Chain A
Amino acid sequence: MNQKNNLLVGIVIAVVAVMSFDVGVDPIGFFEGLPNLGIVLKEMTEFEGDHWQTAFWAMLETIEMAFIGTVIGVAIALPLSLLASRNLNSKFVYAPVRALLAAARTFPSILWAILFVIVVGLGPFAGILAITLYTIGFISKLQYESIEAVDNVPVEATSAIGLTKLQLIRYVIIPDSAPHLISQILYMFDYNVRQTSILGIVGAGGIGFYIINYIKFFEYGKAAVFMLVVLATVLVIDWISVKVRDRYIVKSQTGMQIKI
């Protein structure tokens, strides 16, 4: 058994080596290039203070975009995830819905952003559409998986007394999967803020527009201001979602673990 494992590790290492050669991984080049990173970092520390305000408003726009995209995306994803659950629907319903959702999730939001820039033009609206679409694909997968994991006993007990499917969803499925949903929405918002921060690269609004342009013109000091604002925002959002999770989700889940 152990020998087999050793062989397996050896094979993986060999594959990585071959692939690296194929795509041109160059460790020597990395170390030779390191001084360049030093130059960039040094220039980055030379903040240009008058850009803080611009950065703040650009970040606000980014958060607004992410928020709108998350809310609308979740609103659309919820009914779709009910349709995509194998325990609620026949094959003919969930299979096509799942295929559609998989398609929405296949491409990262930046690719959708390029598409929507072509459709609705440059600006935040294209970004919002991209975020919404990706959110739909992503959160409905998380959601239909937690719907399928809902405790089967209440479902059986309530079906046995003749509840309609709609009532079953409203009174059993949604309450039982709600703690997961809240957690997933927080995660999605967190993720969307980071995604929206780079959508500006393709002209779909948000703070990324500034970052990519300043980097292009070697103005690392200015770019650093914007990157720091993104970092600070992501940390704050992370901190808030931990608080929310502790307050609402952990409590109800420890509650659920109580054995009779």
Chain B
Amino acid sequence: MEKQIFSSSISPLSIVQMNDVFASYDSKNYVLQNIRMSIQRGTNYAIVGQSGSGKSTLLKLINGMMNPSNGTVKVNYQTPNFHEKSFKKFIAKIGYIPQNLGLVKNTTVLENVMIGALPRLGSFKSFFKIFPDKEIADAYNILKMVGLDDKAERKTYMLSGGERRRVAIARALMQKPDLLLADEIVSELDHVTAIEIMDIISDAQKKFELTSIMVHHDMNLALEYANRVAVIKKGEKILEIGVEGDEIVDFQTGNLTQKEILEQYNESEK
């Protein structure tokens, strides 16, 4: 009965819906196979797997940077397509943090954050870096949230790894996103900094009622912060679990304890 949840029927609440998706970079080897996924609004969704398992590709399918070779992807009920005007409008509200963050190193923190607002600002005024006062105030508020308001004028290349991630989060939040995609945002950080960064994201999620899809390497982190976790192995989704309180539910095999989930995950890593 639980299987119904991620069957191909389109749920009215789902923000991302994938049906039998195959993806490939060279039309020979599939990076993703047979992916079915339904992500409800307001979910903190985590995708966990080894490097090379296709996690990043999954995010690229969602924001339209890549097209599936088979199957359908629906984001906000539409097929991601950069040339479609209505999707372009929506894409401005998909906060996207790639694995290498994609910050412009030679400009200030504030300018990097303002990039998030650019899609909704006029091309002409923004070319001369003229911003409405409200947008600048918003940027400072967001910088305060991530704890960087005192470094707004600092050049980005001068920041530490943790601070750069805060800038990337601030840029994504500046998009006033409906959906936040983050690719291994804390993988290279030490544990304490990783927790700090995750807490910032978690606070932002509550404040802005965000749906988030985050790729993780660390299962423990995913279980702690997400309320749904999908495990990807060699391009296939092998497990999808819901986390509520301390109870974990596997939609494929029934109830499991956290310990069993971790064991199963560790097994899949081998």
Contact with B along A169-184 (1 / 0, CB 8 A): 0111001101100000
Task: Tell me which of B65, B91, B111 contacts A156 (CB under 8 A).
Answer: B65
**Alpha-carbon separation in the docked complex, A176 to B123 (Å):** 20
Contact with A along B159-172 (1 / 0, CB 8 A): 01100100000000
Interface residue stretch chosen among B92-100, B200-208, B231-239 = B92-100
Interface residue stretch chosen among B70-78, B112-120, B215-223, B241-249 = B112-120
Q: Does B24 contact A (CB under 8 A)?
A: no
Interface residue stretch chosen among A21-29, A117-125, A224-232, A252-260 = A252-260
Q: Does B103 contact A (CB under 8 A)?
A: yes
Interface residue stretch chosen among A54-62, A131-139, A160-168 = A160-168
Q: Does A79 contact B (CB under 8 A)?
A: no
Pair A176/B106 contact, Cβ less than 8 Å: yes
**Which residues of B sit under 8 angstroms from A172, Cβ to Cβ?**
104, 115
**Which residues of B sit under 8 angstroms from A256, Cβ to Cβ?**
105-106, 157
Q: Does A90 contact B (CB under 8 A)?
A: no
Give the interface size bracket for B toward A.
35 or more
**Which residues of B sit under 8 angstroms from A255, Cβ to Cβ?**
105, 155, 157-158
Q: Does A16 contact B (CB under 8 A)?
A: no
**Which residues of A sit under 8 angstroms from B63, Cβ to Cβ?**
160
Q: Does B52 contact A (CB under 8 A)?
A: no
Closest B residue to A150 using CB positions? B104
Pair B115/A158 contact, Cβ less than 8 Å: yes
Interface size of A by CB at 8 A reads: 26
Task: Tell me which of B64, B89, B94, B157 contacts A252 (CB under 8 A).
Answer: B157
Pair B102/A156 contact, Cβ less than 8 Å: yes
Q: Does B2 contact A (CB under 8 A)?
A: no
Say what secondary structure dominates the interface of chain A: helix
Q: Does B126 contact A (CB under 8 A)?
A: yes
**Which residues of A sit under 8 angstroms from B175, Cβ to Cβ?**
161
Pair B157/A157 contact, Cβ less than 8 Å: no
Question: Which of A151, A155, A157, A161 lies at the interface centre, i.e. has the most chain B CB atoms within 10 A of its CB?
Answer: A161
**Which residues of A sit under 8 angstroms from B101, Cβ to Cβ?**
153, 157
Pair A158/B106 contact, Cβ less than 8 Å: no
Say what secondary structure dominates the interface of chain B: mixed
**Alpha-carbon separation in the docked complex, A256 to B91 (Å):** 29
Task: Tell me which of B92, B114, B161 contacts A161 (CB under 8 A).
Answer: B92
Q: Does A108 contact B (CB under 8 A)?
A: no
Q: Does A154 contact B (CB under 8 A)?
A: yes
> A167-B127, A260-B188 are known contacts. Are A160 and B105 too (CB-CB below 8 A)?
no
**Which residues of A sit under 8 angstroms from B51, Cβ to Cβ?**
none
Q: How far is the CB of A216 from chain B (nearest CB, A)?
A: 51
Pair B115/A252 contact, Cβ less than 8 Å: no
**Which residues of A sit under 8 angstroms from B107, Cβ to Cβ?**
171, 175
Pair B96/A160 contact, Cβ less than 8 Å: yes
Task: Tell me which of B89, B105, B118, B158 contacts A163 (CB under 8 A).
Answer: B118
Q: Does B88 contact A (CB under 8 A)?
A: yes
Closest B residue to A155 using CB positions? B102
Closest A residue to B119 using CB positions? A162
**Which residues of B sit under 8 angstroms from A163, Cβ to Cβ?**
115, 118-119
**Alpha-carbon separation in the docked complex, A167 to B98 (Å):** 19
Pair A154/B102 contact, Cβ less than 8 Å: yes
Q: Which residues, 25 to 74 on A, are CB-close (under 8 Å) to B? A: none
**Which residues of A sit under 8 angstroms from B100, Cβ to Cβ?**
153
Pair A161/B126 contact, Cβ less than 8 Å: no
Q: How far is the CB of A5 from chain B (nearest CB, A)?
A: 38
**Can you list 5 A-B pairs, Cβ within 8 angstroms, ordered by A?**
A157-B102, A160-B94, A160-B98, A167-B123, A255-B105
B residues sitting closer than 8 Å to A (CB atoms) are: 63-65, 88-89, 91-92, 94-98, 100-107, 111, 114-116, 118-119, 123, 126-127, 129, 155, 157-158, 160-161, 164, 175, 188
Q: Which 3 A-B pairs have the closest CB atoms?
A: A157-B102, A260-B161, A255-B157
A residues sitting closer than 8 Å to B (CB atoms) are: 151, 153-158, 160-164, 166-167, 170-172, 175-176, 178-179, 252, 255-256, 258, 260
A sample of 6 more A-B contacts (CB under 8 A), given A167-B127, A255-B158, is A157-B96, A157-B98, A158-B115, A160-B96, A162-B89, A175-B104
